[in-house]
Structure formats: C-alpha cells, structure tokens
C-alpha cells in the first residue's frame, strides 16, 4: 500500500508526530510532503499519482477533480473532524472512501476557553504587553468568574465539558442549542436571544453550516449586555467580523477572545487580533500532545484496517467505496 501524508514538515511536527508516523510506515510505503507550501488541488494530484491512500491534514482541500484524476486512489483519510473542504459526493462517485478523525481535543479546547475568559476578565495579556514594552500597566478592576453567567452557544461535547468546568468555578451556566438536549447538571437551556442577553461571557461552540453562517452578527452583538465578553472557539465563518469590530469600537462589548477567524487555516484576522480589547491565539485549541496523538492515531488505525482488508470505523461513505475491492473490502 502506498500512502501519501499531506502535512507540511512544520504541520507534521505539530499535528502528526514521530510515533504516529513510525506506526503509519508499518502499514505501507509512506510518501511525505516535504515543502512548507500546502498542497493545492493541482499539486495534490501530482503528488498522489500511484498513491492508494491519502492521509490528509485539514488544510489540504480535495475538490472533485482530485478524485477524477487519481484512478489508483482508494481512500482519503482526514486527520481532523472537519471534512467540509472534501467533495464527498465526488469521492463517492469515483468509488473512493472518505474517513474522518474523532474529537480528541475536548479537554484541550475547554482549558484554552477558560484561560481566555480569565485573560479577558483580568487583563492578563494587556498587563503583560505593557510590562514587556517597559510601561506600567493600567491597574483596572477585574471581573470574577465565580458568580458570573456563562452562555454557551452550541452544546456539543466541548460545550458540555466547558459547562462542567465552569460549574466547578461556581459560574452560572446557561446554553442554547437548536436541539432540545439534556442539560449538564445545573445548566439551563434558553433561547439564543436570551442566552445573549443574560450572559457575562458568551462562548461560541456551534458547528459551521450554511444555517449558522454569521450567526453572530450585528443584531446578536447588540443583544448582548453592555460590557459582556465574546469568545469564539469554533469557526471564523460563524462571526460577522465587521459587526464584531463595530461592537468593540462603540464600547458595547467589554472585549473579545478568539482562537479562530477568517484568515488562512482558520486563523484570527490580524486587524482584530492586534486590538487592545481582543485576546487572540493562532488556532491552537487542539494543539496539545494528547489531542494531536488522538487524531493522528485515529488515521493510523484506519489505514491499518484497510491494509488488513477491513472497513475502517469513522468511514463517511462506506457504501460507495467500490475501489476498496482491490483490498478485499466490500461493504
């Protein structure tokens, strides 16, 4: 089996790791992408000639022409949960299996979220930046998390864990979700509008879909209480960044924190990240050894299953993966 790992060297160091790579090599002949330039579709097609399995980082898109141009490709294994830049219909039409990884980053993202809320509430970054510039920071009154209201928008696995952590800090937890869900202990489900209006901190954790595009717009920010804080740990597309800037400019929001944005690879936009009332991190929510190993080894196990003639778990389109027949796999 010939396997292409699409990660650039720096992305490979951060998001795959030597142990996972060594075990992947045990499943077949691994070809590495050795340029720091991510593979665009044309470069991906050139690199994947004669390849049986592509193990893909989140940056590498797979539009329809990729599957049409690679007759030897049997599986496209994504080292992430997000497969929005993979044309799954085209893969299915070509008989190519698509898989994804599971969420091993829940604790990592929650811990960052708590840290961002503390930073916003106590001005940690602002004071640090002043000291590093040789200036005495402004001594300002902070906000205590205990007793404050946390509004979670999107109660998935991360939202539930965040609710538990916030409750341990003695925060009041409210949440909104389009589906009625069993709330975590002590949490209260409200409408989106009520969560915005009643929260001291609003954390965005909804999936990015057509329906949630710019969910946080001018109307949403206006509904938030004056001085409330907004935190985005999900996807940049969920936020109308112009509306966020305007809410910050007029002093309606106390500040914002973001690990994601509309810059390449879901990075925060520089014009927002450089603001004094914004705390920004470069899409590192899941960048811890434990979280990265979890997703990397998900892909290793999937490739090992293919090599042993078995349909891997986490397959997105197993019924359409007709090219797997050469490995003795029939759905």
First to last CA, the chain: 20
Q: Which CATH class is domain 2-104+289-327?
A: alpha beta
**Does residue 181 carry a pLDDT above 90?**
no
Cα distance between residue 230 and residue 232, in whole Å: 7
CATH 3.40.50.720 spans which residues of the chain?
A: 2-104+289-327, 106-280
Q: 106-280 falls under which CATH superfamily?
A: NAD(P)-binding Rossmann-like Domain (3.40.50.720)
pLDDT of residue 180: 74
248-277 average pLDDT score: 97
For the CA atoms of 192, 124, 106, 199, the dihedral, rounded to the nearest 10 degrees, stands at -20
**Average pLDDT over the chain, rounded to an integer:** 96
Total length of the chain: 331
133-155 average pLDDT score: 96
- Which pLDDT tens digit goes with each residue over 278-319? 999 999 999 999 999 999 999 999 999 999 999 999 999 999
Cα distance between residue 75 and residue 195, in whole Å: 42
Six-digit token string for 172: 């009041």
Lookup result for tokens 């924190």: 257
Q: Given pLDDT bands bounded at 50, 70 and 90, which one contains residue 112?
A: very high
Six-digit token string for 56: 């893909």
Cα distance between residue 221 and residue 218, in whole Å: 5
What percentage of the chain has pLDDT greater than the value 70? Answer: 100
112-140 average pLDDT score: 97
pLDDT of residue 182: 86
pTM here?
Answer: 0.89
pLDDT of residue 179: 86
Q: What ranges make up the beta strands (E) of the chain? A: 2-5, 29-32, 53-56, 75-78, 97-99, 149-153, 172-176, 188-189, 201-204, 229-232, 255-258, 278-280
What percentage of the chain has pLDDT greater than the value 90? Answer: 97
pLDDT of residue 296: 97
217-242 average pLDDT score: 98
Q: Given pLDDT bands bounded at 50, 70 and 90, which one contains residue 229?
A: very high
């Amino acid at each position: 089996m010939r396997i292409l790992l699409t990660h650039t060297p720096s992305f490979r160091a951060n998001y795959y790791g030597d142990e996972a790579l060594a075990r992947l090599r045990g499943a077949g002949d691994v070809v590495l992408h050795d340029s720091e330039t991510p593979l665009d579709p044309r470069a991906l097609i050139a690199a994947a000639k004669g390849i049986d399995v592509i193990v893909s980082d989140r940056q590498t898109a797979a539009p329809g022409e990729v599957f049409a141009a690679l007759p030897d490709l049997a599986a496209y294994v994504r080292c992430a949960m997000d497969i929005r830049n993979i044309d799954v219909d085209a893969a299915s039409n070509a008989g190519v299996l698509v898989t994804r990884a599971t969420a091993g980053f829940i604790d990592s993202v929650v811990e960052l979220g708590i840290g961002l809320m503390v930073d916003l509430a106590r001005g940690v970054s602002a004071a640090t930046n002043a000291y590093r510039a040789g200036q005495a920071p402004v001594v300002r009154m902070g906000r205590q998390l205990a007793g404050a209201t946390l509004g979670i928008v999107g109660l998935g696995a991360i939202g539930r864990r965040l609710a538990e952590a916030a409750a341990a800090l003695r925060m009041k937890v409210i949440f909104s979700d389009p589906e009625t869900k069993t709330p975590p202990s002590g949490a209260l489900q409200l409408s989106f509008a009520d969560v915005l209006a009643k929260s001291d901190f609003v954390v965005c954790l909804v999936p990015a879909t057509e329906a949630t595009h710019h969910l946080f717009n001018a109307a949403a920010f206006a509904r938030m209480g004056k001085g409330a804080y907004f935190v985005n740990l999900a996807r940049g597309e969920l936020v109308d960044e112009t509306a966020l800037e305007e809410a910050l400019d007029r002093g309606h929001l106390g500040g914002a924190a973001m690990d994601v944005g509309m810059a390449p690879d879901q990075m925060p936009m520089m014009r927002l990240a450089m603001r004094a009332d914004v705390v920004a991190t470069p899409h590192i929510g899941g960048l811890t050894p434990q979280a990265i190993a979890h997703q990397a080894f998900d892909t290793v196990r999937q490739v090992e299953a293919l090599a042993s003639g078995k349909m891997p778990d986490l397959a997105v389109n197993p019924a359409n993966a007709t090219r797997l027949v050469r490995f003795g796999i029939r759905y």
